Copies of this chain bind each other. A is one copy, B any other.
């Protein structure tokens, strides 16, 4: 992955105000991989005080999408076509970590997965798996 791609992905992440709202942080990037962490903020909870499914979805979907974006040209953007999430256990812990990866890149369709973990005192428990589809967009889609 070139420094240009690295900078492009980080700039895109920084423009996602939802990531800022959730306190999410882009940990690291590789060719076809991305890791994002987020605390379980007081404002990100469900009714039983665990992290909301939308928080888990948000960082899982974004990790998968940015994993895909590392494989595209500097001018391309990526959009989620569809995403499926299975929740394994309540999102309880010090923070959540999402690991996204590309299963099959493609000019038309890129298939991705992500795992999301809850970390407590350095011990991780898996809280979700995601599987979905990304497409490149060269300009604002309609």
Taking the closest CB of chain B, its distance from the CB of A74, in whole angstroms, is: 14
Q: How many copies altogether?
A: 4
Q: Which of A44, A103, A131 has the largest count of B CB atoms less than 10 A from its CB?
A: A131
A103 to B114, CA, bound (A): 13
Q: Count of chain A residues with Cβ under 8 Å from any Cβ of B?
A: 53
Contact B133 A81 (CB under 8 A): yes
Measured CB to CB, the nearest residue on chain B to A83 is B85
Contact B131 A111 (CB under 8 A): no
Q: Which residues of B contact A83 (CB under 8 A)?
A: 53, 57, 84-85
Measured CB to CB, the nearest residue on chain B to A45 is B17
Q: Evaluate whether A126 and B104 lie within 8 angstroms (CB atoms) in the complex, with A57-B54, A82-B82, A131-B86 already known.
A: yes
